[in-house]
Amino acid sequence: MLYAILCYHDEDLVGSWSKEHDADVMQKLTVVQDKLAKQGRLGPVARLLPTTSATTLRKEDPPLVLDGPFAETKEQLLGFYVIEAKNLDEVLDFARELGEANPGGTYEIRPVGYFTAGSVKP
Amino acid sequence: MTDTAWIDAALTSARPQAVGALLRYFRNLDTAEEAFQNACLRALKNWPQNGPPRDPAAWLIMVGRNVAIDDIRRSKKQEPLPEDDQAISDLGDAEDEIAERLDGSHYRDDILRLLFICCHKDLPATQQIALALRIVSGLTVKQIARAFLVSEAAMEQRITRAKARVAGAQVPFETPGAVERSERLASVAAMIYLIFNEGYSASGDTAEIRSPLCEEAIRLARLLLRLFQSEAEIMGLTALLLLQHARAAARFDAEGEVILLDDQDRSLWNQKLIAEGLALIDKAMRHRRSGPYQIQAAIAALHARAEKPEDTDWTQIDLLYGALELMQPSPVVTLNRAVAVSKVRGAEAALDMIDPLAPRLSNYFHYFGVRGAFLMQLGRNDEAHVAFDRAIALANTTAEASHIRMHIDRLIRDSKPGQAKAK
């Protein structure tokens, strides 16, 4: 079954990483992802741009457009993975490995109810 | 990752908030900075063992405050402290309480005040920038000196002087009203733009060394925008910096020569920065509160959106410069507009537009570079040569001069076969 791993971290902190550190983390994460990709279990992976570039649409009548992210929190949604796993333990194993490559912050693991791979190319 | 990389990042990201809060508390920049330094030393000792605190900024503020208060007591000066002095004994509870207070109203104004102090109007631009990079960004004097291409001693002196000036100035500590806050915001935005330009105006051989200035300016702009999420001009400023910096890798060739926008390899443009910049300018436009940063960002966005130079929407750029001229009349803006006009209506019209600027731009390198280019397009090669010669005499960098020399070479090359024919 499919699981989403939602990545939360303090974006101020992530934004203070040196370029070298950022590249180092991304490289380590790629190694972890590649293992899963080889087994055909890695779905879409996204890293989001800063929340300052976010816009929120509240579905009121009429819809209300607001600047910034939906939730004002200490840690922000910075990216997500979709992966195939047999059970929660497998997802947790993967998430732990990701966490070793990129310590700090939080992963929220959620089973996926509906999924379409879509057609956009990176 | 090295073991302390996360600590460095945490200290850097907590710095504006922590120093800002300590400044509000002690009302003295040196004390606030020293308190923060001491807190950082303790963090370096404490965090590797105990892990990062839940709220690093709150931790640093509290520890910095306690250490400074102890120092003050020990030195027996017994300076009276502001009234909200509390004996903080239990670290855990106090951290919670401070974290809660930080989420409130102080947070934004603390950081804004810290930035605002650096752009005190008595300080020359270079001192403002140096002070902000030292105090807000926490760059070392050595790093700043390197970016400014001056000696460490000279930079140390510049910062010390700036600090002394700021210390003597009246810094308002009460919570600012709406008008005052927006004035502060405008000064701070201008200072951030100065930091960026200091890095952006580098020549090819120094661009690499100076690009941290651009990156730091972007970091500060994002910080400011996070505090003031609906300020269209701060969105515009951030977008402008992102869109300009996106072209960094394409701006100079291997020899450090300037590559003009039309000739740049657009595949070298940083698409991530462009995406963020475009998203921000789109957001800003929705507010329908235009301003100079937004307009400049919109112009940069039109360049960024053009996959090939010939796709550039020059008509729209001409209109945007027209709007900028009304908002911020300046011969330099008109000069930029003339470039767009030359693409839309031809070099003749563009030349008519810049002729009246001559008295005010008689010492401006770009004026003669642009003028020469227009004249060259019209085949008035002798006049073009004169303009280019003047440009070389006024060039600020060797890269600028050699770029113009390239034009002159072309003039000479082009005119030779013509002369042969005439004979």
Radius of gyration of chain B (CA): 25
Beta bridge partners of B258: B252
Q: Give which of B212, B203, B245 is closest to B143, Cα–Cα.
A: B212
Q: What are phi and psi of A54, to 5 degrees?
A: -80, 150
State the pLDDT confidence band at B222, using cuts at 50, 70 and 90: very high
DSSP letter at B252?
A: B
Of these ranges, B24-28, B197-201, B371-375, the one predicted with the greatest mean pLDDT is: B371-375
The full DSSP string for B79-130 is PPPPTT------HHHHHHHHHHHHHTTHHHHHHHHHHHHHT-TTS-HHHHHH
Inform me whether the pLDDT recorded for B5 exceeds 70: yes
> A62 preceded by cis ω (within 30°)?
yes
Q: What is the pLDDT of residue B85?
A: 45
State which amino acid sits at residue A27: Q
Please list, in sequence order, all residues whose beta carbon lies within 8 angstroms of the beta carbon of residue B48, skipping any fewer than 6 positions away. B3, B4, B7
Instruction: Please name the member of B13, B229, B238 whose beta carbon is closest to the beta carbon of A13.
Output: B13
Please list, in sequence order, all residues whose beta carbon lies within 8 angstroms of the beta carbon of residue A17, skipping any fewer than 6 positions away. A25, B5, B9
- By the 8 A CB rule, do B362 and B377 touch? no
Q: What is the pLDDT of residue A18?
A: 87
Query: B33-49, pLDDT tens digit by residue?
Result: 999 999 999 999 999 98
- CB within 8 Å: B223 and A16: no
Q: What is the mean pLDDT of residues B262-266?
A: 94
- CB within 8 Å: A25 and B1: yes
Beta bridge partners of A80: A6, A46
CA dist B101 and A37 (Å) reads: 45
Q: What is the pLDDT of residue A83?
A: 97
Q: Give which of B56, B223, B58 is closest to A104, Cα–Cα.
A: B56
CA dist B236 and B294 (Å) reads: 4
A5 or B89, higher pLDDT: A5
Extract long-range pairs of B362-370: CB within 8 Å, 24+ residues apart: B363/B394, B364/B331, B364/B332, B364/B335, B364/B394, B365/B391, B365/B394, B365/B395, B365/B396, B365/B400, B366/B332, B366/B335, B366/B391, B367/B331, B367/B335, B368/B394, B369/B400, B369/B403, B369/B404, B369/B407, B370/B335, B370/B338, B370/B339
**CB contact, 8 Å: B309 with chain A?**
no
**CB contact, 8 Å: B275 with chain A?**
yes
Query: A62-72, pLDDT tens digit by residue?
Result: 999 999 999 87
Query: A20-32, pLDDT tens digit by residue?
Result: 999 999 999 999 9
Q: What is the pLDDT of residue B218?
A: 96
State which amino acid sits at residue A78: L
Inform me whether the pLDDT recorded for B3 exceeds 70: no
The tokens for B20 are: 């800002």
**CB atoms near residue B121 (< 10 Å):** 7
Closest approach of chain A CAs to the CA of B133, in angstroms? 14
Contact list in A for residue B52 (CB cut-off 8 A) is 104
- By the 8 A CB rule, do B224 and B118 touch? no
Query: B375-389, pLDDT tens digit by residue?
Result: 999 999 999 999 999
**CB atoms near residue B377 (< 10 Å):** 15
Closest approach of chain A CAs to the CA of B273, in angstroms? 9
**Percent of chain B whose pLDDT exceeds 70:** 90
- CB within 8 Å: B9 and A55: no
CA dist B88 and B93 (Å) reads: 9
The SS3 call for residue A106 is: strand
A13, A48, A73: best to mutate for the B interface, most B CBs within 10 A = A13
Find the range with the poorest average confidence among A35-44, A105-114, B158-167: B158-167
Contact list in A for residue B9 (CB cut-off 8 A) is 13-14, 16-18, 21
- The rounded mean pLDDT for chain B is 87
Contact list in A for residue B286 (CB cut-off 8 A) is 65
Q: What is the pLDDT of residue B102?
A: 54
Identify the residue whose tokens are 């890798």: B249
Q: What is the pLDDT of residue B417?
A: 55
Q: What are phi and psi of A9, to 5 degrees?
A: -160, 165
Closest approach of chain A CAs to the CA of B377, in angstroms? 41
Q: What is the mean pLDDT of residues B147-174?
A: 86
Nearest chain B residue to A73, by CA: B103
Find the range with the poorest average confidence among A22-26, A113-117, B158-162, B201-205: B201-205
Question: ipTM of the predicted structure?
Answer: 0.92
Quick one: B20 exposed, middle or buried, by C-beta within 10 A (0-12, 13-18, 19+)?
A: buried
Inform me whether the pLDDT recorded for B362 exceeds 60: yes
**CB atoms near residue A10 (< 10 Å):** 24
CA B240 to chain centre: 10
Q: How many Cβ contacts (< 8 angstroms) between chains A and B? A: 61
The SS3 call for residue A37 is: helix
Inform me whether the pLDDT recorded for B176 exceeds 90: no
Q: Give all strands (DSSP E) within B261-418, no chain letters.
A: none
CA dist A46 and B272 (Å) reads: 13
Q: What is the mean pLDDT of residues B354-378?
A: 94
- CB within 8 Å: A49 and B283: no
Inform me whether the pLDDT recorded for B423 exceeds 50: no
Left, alpha or beta for B175 (phi > 0: left; psi -120 to 50: alpha)?
A: beta
Q: What is the pLDDT of residue B420?
A: 42
Q: Which helix (H) or strand (E) holds A55?
A: strand A55-58
Q: Give which of B165, B373, B126 is closest to B262, Cα–Cα.
A: B373
Q: What is the pLDDT of residue B216?
A: 93
The SS3 call for residue B384 is: helix
Query: B305-361, pLDDT tens digit by residue?
Result: 999 999 999 999 999 999 999 999 999 999 999 999 999 999 999 999 999 999 999
